[in-house]
Amino acid sequence: MSTPKIALVTGGGSGLGRVIATALAGAGYRVVVSGRTASTLARVPDADPVVADVTDAEAVRALFDHVASRYGRLDVLVNNAGVFGPGGPADELSDEDWQAVVDTNLTGSFRCARAAFRLMKAQDPRGGRIINNGSVSAHVPRPNAVAYTATKHAVTGLTKALALEGRAHDIAVSQLDIGNAATDLTESFASGTLQADGSLRPEPTMDARHVGDMVVHMAQLPLTANVAFLTLMATTMPYLGRG
């Protein structure tokens, strides 16, 4: 019987994080889930829950120390922790709200990737895979979402830089850009969401399980192959073209 591979999913207690963690566990991975709330992490089936806030550098260090000491290696990191932040015009966004989104979506992703690199470079056999949760907002913004959009564009740069550096160490780095997966966060889309032309229109969603299935597919590729960027979206969402 082969030894299970080890996966870590940040922001794994709810929403897409829980879907991804559950899919990886179902595919035979030993899954560590991290997040800020113990009660939600405890409800993720077949997972090892660790309370850790990616905006806290010491908490991130402790999280990866836990992975290293308990499992001896890390095969897959899913950088999923993220926040949308308060919506509204750019000129009304406070410094504090801007920084909170940057600290989670960008700096948090960097901290976890940095820790994963250190572990993956040193382990035997070396290497592993990092999958960053991008968003279609890494390409096209929604109205009144400047902080979220800016950080997701920055995650694309982070993915490219890490993928380049990872080549020498058998570390494959990918980005999954998700559009309108059905979660609590997108529940309101059915009743209407603000469009670029100022109108309020309903938007379709897709089953979030497709996200988990796609992460499993990307994770199971050999380290000699990599899906660098992949967009997974509800087919008829207003994204391509003019809507």
Q: Report CA 187 to chain centroid distance, whole Å.
A: 19
Cα-Cα-Cα-Cα dihedral sign, residues 237, 173, 116, 126? positive
- Paired tokens of 139: 């390409």
Name the nearest CA neighbour of 32 among 55, 4, 56, 58. 4
Cα→Cα distances 228→6, 60, 92, 176, Å: 21, 25, 35, 8
The active-site residue, picked from 29, 71, 148, 239, is 148
| CA–CA separation, 208 and 205 (whole Å) | 9
Rounded to 5 degrees, what angle do the CA atoms 32, 216, 105 make?
60
Strands (E), 58-103: 76-79
29 among known catalytic residues: no
Please state the length of the chain: 243
Contacts for 190 with CB less than 8 Å, ≥ 6 apart: 202, 203, 205
Could you list the active site residues?
148
